[in-house]
Structure 1
Amino acid sequence: MLSNYVPEASVVYCQQLWQQYQFTFQVARPRRTRLGDFRVLPYNRTQITVNANLNPYAFLITYVHEVAHAAVHSQNKSLRRSHIRPHGPVWQTAFQQLMQPILNEDVFPKAILQPLRQYLLKPAATTYANPALVMALRQVDQPQTTNLSANQVMLRDVSEGRVFQFAKKTFIRGTLRRTRVVCKEVSSGRSYAILAHALVEIIIE
């Protein structure tokens, strides 16, 4: 399964991690709010999911990100999960260590490797926290996005108060909060936190 989603040079390593931490793994339908997730299931079983629409390099980074959660859980089963911050120092160290064996040009293109190394100095909860890495990863997506509308831009570049469409809904752009922008859906009046690097379509008034 993994061979269809990650760079060829990383397949064996990814399979080794799967065997080592014994989690259930699923490729998930694209989700707007997350690239992947890690869950502890009943009877202390664990599960990792990664979105199917990610390019191989983004998929690999997300996969290892979630495996780092599995590693932290495996090493700290005796502690309550609330005692360990989800993306705190313990997870950051685990993620950095798990990425080391694949942090080379056999796996990642140089254009991605440089911002990836910078991001890993202090990894955040999402790669969207590092604009340079997001842009490098998005360059790999370009062949698949050549049919994008001329009005389509990243949400972070939309001015506050501007109306735009995302996921077939109309929103008003609000304030930026770290890696997400709080936006109000026009039809319902509800507020949503949308990733700042999400591609949205500007509505020409």
Structure 2
Amino acid sequence: MDKIAVLSRYLPADAAPVIARWIDYFKCEFKISRGRNTKFGDYRPPQHGHGHRISVNHDLNPYAFLVTSVHEFAHLQTWNEHKGSVKPHGQEWKQNFKKMMRPFFEKSVFPEELTMAIRNYLENPAASSCSDIDLFRALKKYDRSSGMVMVESLPLHALFGLKDGRVFRKGTLRRKRFSCTEVATERIYLFSPMAEVLPVTAEQA
């Protein structure tokens, strides 16, 4: 199947031709990966007979998929310019990330509200878009409905579950994380406000 057609399943339509050109120009292996809890995407420089390799999680919404793809291509460009002599998320990468986002702003790929959130994030981009709460929150609005909610949206003392079956009771915010109690063991765990969980009723617990 045509590369642009495949990418259009995961990216906004106007963005797919740009990413396809980048894949060809950089001779990059671009993999659409299974969902990963620890990261949205990944870049590997040329080594052991492989060229540039980028992977992006398949289950991201189109805008999150695009931001993640640009993030990883900025790593590729930075490696081409500096090899391993600069920090992975240093000023060189930040400048490339900002520069490589421009075509998508020029094409008005993002909704206005999301454009503002991304521009604010680009003032000082972090190692991951999910590290920036405002951008992460803005991107999450475009997720497909999955029945999951973010911990920050639940009321105090509400019950919630994880996919592994464990159930927790939401507690108070400690600095940047919520202190939550596992119902079965009474052990305390800290959850990011952005952690996705399943709402649970008292009858289900």
Report TM bin, short chain: 0.7 to 0.9
SS in 1 for 2:53: strand
1:42 aligned counterpart, secondary structure: coil
Are 2:194 and 1:197 equivalent residues in the alignment?
Answer: yes
Contact 2:151 2:196 in 1 (8 A): yes
Structure 2 counterpart of 1:50, from 43, 51, 56: 56
Structure 2 counterparts to residues 11-160 of structure 1, below 5 A: 11-40=16-45, 41-43=47-49, 45-77=51-83, 81=84, 83-104=85-106, 106-141=108-143, 144-145=144-145, 148=147, 153-156=149-152
- Indicate the RMSD between aligned Cα atoms, in angstroms: 3.4
**Superposition TM-score, scaled by structure 2 size:** 0.76
Q: Quote the Cα distance in structure 1 between the aligned partners of 2:66 and 2:110.
A: 10
1:50 counterpart SS class: strand
Q: Is the 8 A contact 2:179 2:189 kept in 1?
A: yes
Which residue identity lines up with residue 150 of structure 2 in the other structure? Answer: M
**Runs of 5+ consecutive residues of structure 2 not aligned to the other structure:** 1-5
Q: State the Cα distance separating 1:90 from its structure 2 match.
A: 1.2
Judge conservation of contact 1:171–1:183 (CA < 8 Å) in 2.
no
Instruction: Name the TM-score, length of structure 1 as normaliser.
Output: 0.76
Of 2, 8, 17, which residue of structure 1 is paired with 2:13?
Answer: 8
- Equivalence for 2:3: none
Q: How far has the Cα of 1:19 moved from its partner?
A: 1.6
What is the number of equivalent residue pairs in this alignment? 194
Q: Is the 8 A contact 2:14 2:107 kept in 1?
A: no
- 1:3–1:184 CA distance, 2 compared to 1 (3 A): same
Show structure 1 runs of 5+ residues with no match.
none
**Higher alpha-carbon deviation: 61-70 or 95-104:** 95-104
Q: Deviations over 1:114-141 (max 9, x none)?
A: 1111001111111122222222212212
Q: Separation in 2 of the partners of 1:198 and 1:26?
A: 25
Q: How high is the sequence identity, in percent, across the aligned residues?
A: 31
Q: Please tell me whether Structure 1 or Structure 2 has the larger radius of gyration of its CA atoms.
A: 2
Q: Deviations over 1:55-108 (max 9, x none)?
A: 11110000010011111111123xxx2x32111111111111111111246311
Cα distance in 2 for partners of 1:185, 1:70 equals 42
